[in-house]
Chain A
Amino acid sequence: MIAALLRRDLARFFPFAGSGAALPVVFFVAVAMLYPFAVGPDANLLARTGGGVVWIAALLAAILPLEKLVARDIELGVFDQLRLRGVTEEVMMAVRLAAHWLSFGPPLILATFPAAALLNLDGPSLHLLLLGLLAGTPGLAAIGLTIAALTASLRAGAALSGLLLIPLALPILIFGAGALTRQDQASLGFVAAISLALVAIAPFAAGAAIRAAREV
């Protein structure tokens, strides 16, 4: 049953599954492409600041899929029907978290290669960036899912979720981008720890949120 759920969620959210699922990755590469145009082709400046730009692009790209992540299945009654089949909200949200991360983390990590080339990042920086995104994107996905579930029953939920994600994602951004300026892998450990805690909490928080949404 969980395999069937994961298959459905992946088919809905994976890039090129249709309905704008590839948008976050396109957006991510577009930011990396536009940045040199905006600040000029100074190779040193790009190499020094490019890593931070990639992190900001990743954070903003994490906001894009939130609108469809939870609200639509509440409207369709999918969560209610699954509940009647004995699936708990926590399991639904854990599966959704896995599908959400798979459909936005790894594609973003792959897209980091062209982005790094556009921003003239050197080998060690790219290495730190890839490790950082690998450690940080699960955390971003967990924050995103929790916020999407909390705001699902609100009318202006989509706009609000973007605003809510940014402050909550700050620790990941600070430690992830900080690793680049100091060229040190140690702070990536913090990113991984934050991500791990968020991933552990998210299914319970999001599950409670969609249960609460029924009582409205």
Chain B
Amino acid sequence: MAMQGSRVSTITASGIRAETLTCRRGDRVLFRGLSFELGAGEALHITGANGTGKTTLIRALAGLTKPYAGTVERNGDIGLLDERSALDPDWPLGRALAFWTSIDGDKASDAPAALGLEPLLDVPVHYLSTGQRKRAGLAVLLGRGAPIWLLDEPLSGLDASAIEQVTTLIAAHVRGGGIALIASHQGLAVEGLQTLAIENYTPAPEPAA
């Protein structure tokens, strides 16, 4: 990607570290004692079945929710991509993307073109398909230029060629010194990808106390 070069300087010192993280939803503990550390150029694939707490973990790592126990240390900006695109459904895609460009500091981004979104810029966001919306979310993520990517199910709703495109983007980001955490139940073909299975940290079902 063309914008990779300008990012490297901010990326080199970035990192994210989770220590004995415990999260719960309601009264139920989803996982306990989860720890990992990622430095520049590393990628982690978080696997787990539906409902095991992948989204909860991503949101805790992003700092949007407080973990029940444990700490998260972030060194660098967070770019989050989840199932919500944060694009106004009534607006044409171009205008919706332009809002985030103006928030992120008016850096002209070539991401929409790179992701094949150019023919869609006049289309209202609510007319877009799931896959197209996902790609639009990726364009925002790329335009932001954050060193730490937290991706929640980035492949859902994408066709084969789009999956390849996303995989290439993640690989390029990591090669450029970025960090990527991908929560997905689908496999990912990214070189040097580490894996963390959430099921290993799920507490054994306790007898009702």
Contact = CB atoms under 8 A, between A and B. Distances in A.
Contacts of A84: 62-64, 77-80, 146
Given A8-B99, A83-B64, A75 B104 contact: no
A123 interface: no
Contacts of B64: 80, 83-84, 214
Contacts of B84: 75-77, 80
A81 B90 contact: no
B65 A214 contact: yes
Instruction: Say what secondary structure dominates the interface of chain A.
Output: helix
Contacts of B63: 83-84
Contacts of B59: 214
Contacts, number: 52
A76 B87 contact: yes
Contacts of A18: 90
B85 interface: yes
A77 B58 CA distance: 14
A155 interface: no
B99 A4 contact: yes
Instruction: Say what secondary structure dominates the interface of chain B.
Output: loop
B79 A76 contact: no
B103 interface: yes
Given A4-B99, A214-B65, A81 B104 contact: no
Interface in B69-117: 77-80, 82, 84-90, 99-100, 102-104
A82 interface: yes
Contacts of B99: 4, 8
A81 B86 CA distance: 7
A129 B88 CA distance: 37
Contacts of A81: 80, 86, 100, 140
Contacts of B90: 18-19
Given A1-B103, A84-B78, A76 B65 contact: no
Nearest to A85: B103
Contacts of B86: 76-78, 80-81
A89 to B, nearest CB: 11
B179 to A, nearest CB: 15
Contacts of A48: none
B74 to A, nearest CB: 10
A23 interface: no
B82 A77 contact: yes
A79 B16 CA distance: 22
A77 B84 CA distance: 6
Contacts of A1: 103
A215 interface: yes
Contacts of B140: 81
A85 B104 contact: yes
Interface in B25-57: none
Nearest to A5: B103
A76 B80 CA distance: 13
Given A12-B88, A76-B87, A215-B65, A82 B82 contact: no
21 contacts: A5-B103, A7-B102, A8-B88, A75-B84, A76-B86, A76-B87, A76-B88, A77-B82, A80-B64, A81-B80, A81-B86, A81-B140, A84-B62, A84-B64, A84-B77, A84-B79, A85-B77, A85-B103, A85-B144, A214-B64, A215-B65
Q: Top 3 closest A-B pairs, CB basis?
A: A77-B84, A4-B102, A81-B86
Given A77-B86, A80-B62, A84-B62, 5 more contacts: A4-B103, A5-B103, A80-B64, A83-B63, A84-B79
